[in-house]
Chains A and B, each alone.
Chain A
Amino acid sequence: MSVTDSAAKAASAPTRRQLTTARAIAEGIAQEMERDSGVVVLGEDIGKYGGIFGATGGLLDQFGPQRVLDTPISETAFIGLGTGAAVEGMRPVVELMFADFFGVAMDQIYNHMAKIHFESGGNVKVPMVLMMAAGGGYSDAEQHSQCLWGTFAHLPGMKVVVPSNPADAKGLMISAIRDDNPVVYVFHKGVMGLPWMAKNPRSIGPVPEEPYETPIGKAAVAREGTHATVVTLSLSVHHALDVADQMSAEHGVELEVIDLRSLVPLDRETILASVGKTGHLLVVDEDYRSFGVSGEIAATVAETDPGMLRAPVRRVAVPDVPIPYARSLERAVLPVPDRIRAAARELVGA
Chain B
Amino acid sequence: MLFPQLSEKDPTAEGVLATWFVSDGDQVASGQLLGEVMVDKAAGEVVAPAAGHVHLLVAEEQIARQGDVIAHVD
**B21 near A199 (CB under 8 angstroms)?**
no
- Chain B: number of interface residues, binned into ranges: 10 to 19
Q: B43: which of A18, A54, A199 is its contact (CB, 8 Å)? A: A54
The answer to the question of B41 belonging to the interface, with a C-beta cut-off of 8 Å to chain A, is yes
Closest residue to B36 on the A side, CB-wise? Answer: A195
Total cross-chain contacts (CB, 8 A): 29
Residues of chain B with a CB closer than 8 A to A196's CB:
38, 41
Indicate if A42 sits at the interface (CB-CB under 8 A): no
In the assembled complex, the CB of B17 is this many whole angstroms from the nearest CB of chain A, namely 9
A82 CB-CB contact with B under 8 Å: no
A163 close to chain B: CB less than 8 A: no
A204, chain B: closest CB distance, angstroms: 6
Interface presence of A146 (CB below 8 A): no
Q: Which of B18, B22, B33 is A195 in contact with, Cβ under 8 Å?
A: B18
Query: Contacts of B36 on A, CB cut-off 8 Å?
Result: 20, 193, 195
A195 touches B21 (CB 8 A): no
Nearest-neighbor residue (CB-CB) of B29 within chain A: A15
Tell yes or no: B68 within 8 A of A by CB: no
Cβ of B45 to closest chain A Cβ, rounded Å: 8
Set B16, B21, B60: member contacting A19, Cβ < 8 A: B21
Return B55 CB to nearest CB of chain A, in Å: 18
Beyond A19-B21, A20-B19, A204-B21, is A199–B61 a contact (Cβ under 8 Å)?
yes
Tell me if A57 counts as interface (CB < 8 A to partner B): yes
Given A20-B36, A199-B61, are A193 and B19 neighbors across the interface (CB < 8 Å)?
A: yes
Contact: B43 with A57, CB < 8 Å?
yes
Residue of A at shortest CB range from B32? Answer: A17
Task: Say yes or no for B37: interface residue by CB 8 A criterion.
Answer: yes
- Residues A18-66 near B (CB distance < 8 A): 18-20, 23, 49-50, 52, 54, 57
> In the bound complex, how far is the Cα of B41 from the Cα of A52, in angstroms?
8
A193 to B16, CA, bound (A): 14
CA distance A195 to B63 in the complex (A): 12
Residue of B nearest to A194 (CB): B43
CB-based nearest A residue for B44: A195
Q: Which residues of B contact A18 (CB under 8 A)?
A: 21-22
Cβ–Cβ < 8 Å partners of B18 in chain A: 195
A23 vs B44: C-alpha distance when bound (angstroms)? 12
Q: How far is the CA of A283 from the CA of B12 in the complex (A)?
A: 48
Closest CB in chain B relative to A330 CB, distance in Å: 20
1/0 per position for A181-222, CB-CB distance to B under 8 A? 000000000000111100100001000000000000000000
> Which B1-54 residues sit within 8 Å CB-CB of chain A?
16, 18-19, 21-22, 33, 36-38, 41-43
Kindly list 18 other residue pairs between chains A and B, CB separation below 8 angstroms, not including A18-B22, A199-B61. A17-B21, A18-B21, A19-B21, A20-B19, A49-B42, A50-B43, A52-B41, A54-B43, A57-B43, A193-B36, A195-B18, A195-B19, A195-B36, A195-B37, A195-B38, A196-B41, A204-B19, A204-B21
User: Which 9 residue pairs spanning A and B have beta carbons closest together?
Assistant: A195-B18, A195-B38, A18-B21, A196-B41, A195-B43, A195-B36, A196-B38, A54-B43, A195-B16
**Residues of B bordering A, CB below 8 Å:** 16, 18-19, 21-22, 33, 36-38, 41-43, 60-61
15 intermolecular pairs with C-beta atoms under 8 Å apart: A18-B21, A18-B22, A19-B33, A20-B19, A20-B36, A49-B42, A50-B43, A52-B41, A195-B18, A195-B36, A195-B37, A196-B38, A199-B60, A204-B19, A204-B21
- A residues sitting closer than 8 Å to B (CB atoms) are 17-20, 23, 49-50, 52, 54, 57, 193-196, 199, 204
